Structure 1
Amino acid sequence: MGIVGCYLMPHPPIMVPEVGGDEVRKVNASIEAAHKVGMEIQKLKPDTIVLVSPHGPVFQDAVCIYDFPLRGSFASFGAPKLKLEFEPDEDLKEEIIKRAGKTRIPAVKSSSMHLSRYGIMEDLDHGVMVPLYFITRHTADFKLVPLAFGMLPYEDLYAFGKAIGEAAESLDKKVVVVASGDLSHRLLPGAPAGFDPEGKVFDEKLVSILERFDLDALYDLDQDLIERAGECGLRSIWIMLGTLDGREVKAEVLSYEGPFGVGYCVAAFHPEGKTESWLERLSKRRAEEIKIRRENEDPYVKLARESLETYVRTGKVLKVPDDLPEEMLEKRAGVFVSIKKRGQLRGCIGTFMPTKKNIAEEIIRNAISAGCEDPRFSPVEPEELPELVYSVDVLTKPEPVDSPDKLDPKKYGVIVKKGARTGLLLPDLEGVDTVEKQLEIALRKAGIRPDEDYEIFRFEVVRHH
């Protein structure tokens, strides 16, 4: 068997009549669509529902599968008598973890993470409870595998979804997958996450993409637009779509509304015939893009790449090549090396003042540090090297400024300093559009409170990528 149906469902507790009371009339379209999903699932008669929630134990580097008694209530939303409880599908859970491991996608059971250390209760969260409330109005004859997505690259989440689909097929189970998630939280003034006009743009684009089932367009969504939307469902969607990899799909958007400033979309995705794997097609596309990059990289980027590749493969520091441009051998400057993998940051380390005798040596040292010593990431492994994309920023000497009015996040990087505490942010970064945002991030990195008396410096960069 395998995946027999997939659904996107929102999770505002106000949709539940016992919680929302008279307010439910404002989300009537979502409620009717959610009941339609429940009726469809009743007809599909799945053995198991896999449900992806944004509100469970979400970790930076792994998908987390719930491994505690699957019960919960709406007590925290004023309806303590409304409770749900489900039987777990242990076989499917184990098979998913095994297959994810084979594809090097980190997946863990919640029992191995000691959730109490993170202040996480071992109860089903509302991201699980709200969709299942509507489904169980029509059928409760299924087992359950709930999980929380990780903050992984979208492609990795899609690959994890593919592992779910393969696990279902290997066990010959009929499985329905539900992506629990809301769209933009910034649709209206006074919305939960504040207002941003780009929230509506994001929702319109995403709903259109889902209706067309256009995975390429989804992958190419602008990251800044995603950030400004303040959504919580996109990663759930990526896992759900991955379960359909290699299948033709009939997609249907059942409803969309945003009466409280948050976008609620209900959609159905029905697998039909076989087709080419999107994951394989994406891999070919990326390989070609990186090949073109390698053929056109300038000496700065080439030196950064060769420095890290040499160190990761041999443990040796690359000697400065003799054929570099004169300015790389004779000039000194601070240098930042940034590394991305599949569009996500993989490491970034730099010096805002020169520490080596020339730019070339600065690049070599910082490329190795970015790939192997950035504390936010594990060291780069040899098999990752073909996928990495590099950029090199050569900094001008920082100059003090007496007012934030003299900053421009597109033109200038910023350094904030208070005693030994220092925070730096490069210019022209995705999602950093205002001086206020630039300073906020730099201060947070430095551990400096906004109300402290701190120094501000600005600098420019020449970016090579």
Structure 2
Amino acid sequence: MAAGKIVSVSYWPAPLAYFEDLPKSKATYKELTAAMKEAAIHIRDSHPQTIVILSRYRYTLRDAIGYSPQPRLRGALQPSGGAPITLGMETDDFFNHVMLRLGERMGIPLVSILDHMPTISTDDYFLHHTATIPLHFLGEEGLGNKQIVRLTMGRLSYEELYTFGRLMQMAAQQSGRRIAVVGSANLLPARLVNQEDVSVDKNIALMNALADCRPQALHELGYPVEDEYAFRTAAFVLGAVSGLKAAVQTHHYSTISGQSYGLVQYAIP
């Protein structure tokens, strides 16, 4: 079997408001849109066979990572006053099996989301906008026919999620697949204390930690009570890129209407 490897790792924003408010939001989100298109082009040029992607913004599992066993997954975005943007992608079942076998060996709990209903909403049968937004941009660059492995984040520690990112490297090698890892999550929402947004400094520190590949910075930031998902996604992404001599190709940070958005795309030799 051909040698597999991680060929791309990225941390994406999930700006659902962009799609809900098209076309008038185009000017507002111009720089963010350009960054997402740039990242999609870099991912396309890395020639992945399978895209590993997160699909859920809120926690649904406290002590495990969920995976989707369905052979085909669908998602949709609804622009205001426009036709729905829909997509459907096949699941890489072989990579799922390799990932599960390694998870058992390394002590990372992985469970089928279909076996954990009704803990998870029936909405999770479909791709969440955290997945459909990057997949939409990737589809525009010609990657709409790739297979995916869809994951649902759990409330695990930074160490466990970092280890799970490292597991992706081993799964890529053992499966023989060229893998693009896409972690997607909005940054911490604005939290005003005495009319000052106390989340901004943590968001900037997180973006710097991603750019510098410094997972230890997450412990310095702690587990923010406002929204922990962004930081756990970062731990997973940093694990996936660890040791790969990656270089940052795209690094975007912006605040639009009080919401912070960040994107980091790594090039891997």
Name the structure, 1 or 2, with higher relative contact order (CA <8 Å, separation 6+).
Answer: 2
Give 5+ residue unaligned stretches, structure 2: none
Cα pair distance change 1:181/1:148, threshold 3 Å: same
Distance 1:263 1:100, change over 3 A: same
Q: Deviations over 1:292-316 (max 9, x none)?
A: xxxxxxxxxxxxxxxxxxxxxxxxx
- 3-state SS of 1:124 partner: coil
Contact kept? 2:57, 2:185, Cα under 8 Å: no
Give the CA deviation at 1:120. 2.8
Residue number among 150, 159, 163 corresponding to 1:159 in the alignment: 163
Deviation at 1:256, TM superposition (A): 0.9
**Which whole-Å deviations, capped at 9, do the CAs of 1:182-217 have from their partners, x for residues lacking one?**
11211679xxxxx76221111121122222222222
Percentage of matched positions with identical amino acids:
23
Does the 8 Å CA contact 2:10/2:266 hold for their aligned counterparts? yes
What secondary structure does 2:169 align onto?
Answer: helix
Residues 331-350 of structure 1 mapped to structure 2, 5 A cutoff: none
In structure 2, distance between residues paired with 1:53 and 1:20:
22
Change (3 A) 1:112 1:141: same
Structure 1 Cα separation of the partners of residues 99 and 80 of structure 2 = 32
C-alpha RMSD over aligned residues: 2.4
Q: Quick one: distance in 2 between partners of 1:196 and 1:94?
A: 48
Q: Structure 1 residues 180, 151: CA separation in 2 closer, same or farther (over 3 Å shift)?
A: same
- Correspondence 1:170-189 to 2 at 5 A: 170-186=174-190
Q: Deviations over 1:398-428 (max 9, x none)?
A: xxxxxxxxxxxxxxxxxxxxxxxxxxxxxxx
SS across alignment from 1:136: helix
Which residue does the alignment assign to 1:134? 137
Q: How do 1:149-298 residues align onto structure 2 when only pairs under 5 Å count?
A: 149-186=153-190, 197-223=197-223, 226-228=224-226, 230=227, 232-272=229-269
TM-score by length of structure 1 reads 0.53
Code of the aligned partner of 1:145: V
- 2:96 matched residue in structure 1: 93
Q: Shift in Å at residue 84 of structure 1?
A: 0.5
Separation of aligned partners in 2, 1:113 and 1:47:
29
CA shift, 1:132, in A, is 1.0
Do the aligned partners of 2:59 and 2:229 also contact (CA within 8 Å) in 1? Answer: no
Shift of 1:157: 0.7
> Structure 1 pair 173/44, CA: closer, same or farther in 2 (3 Å)?
same
Q: Quick one: distance in 1 between partners of 2:149 and 2:21?
A: 25
- Which structure 1 residue ranges, 4+ long, deviate > 6 Å from structure 2? none
Given the superposition, is the C-alpha separation of residues 208 and 64 from structure 1 closer, same or farther in structure 2, using an over 3 Å criterion? same
User: How does the TM-score come out when normalised to structure 2?
Assistant: 0.89
For the residues of structure 2 that align with 1:256 and 1:187, how far apart are their CA atoms? 18
- Report whether the alignment pairs 1:113 with 2:111: no
After superposition, the Cα gap between the structure-2 partners of 1:234 and 1:77, relative to the gap in structure 1 and judged at 3 Å, is: farther
CA–CA distance in 2 between the matches of 1:166 and 1:108? 19
Q: 1:15 aligns with which of 18, 37, 47?
A: 18
Aligned residues: 263
**Cα 1:231–1:257, aligned 2, differ >3 Å: closer, same or farther?**
farther
CA deviation string 1:421-451 (max 9, x = no partner): xxxxxxxxxxxxxxxxxxxxxxxxxxxxxxx
Q: Kindly state the Cα deviation for residue 56 of structure 1 after the two structures are TM-superposed.
A: 6.7
Q: Which AA in structure 2 matches 1:98?
A: R
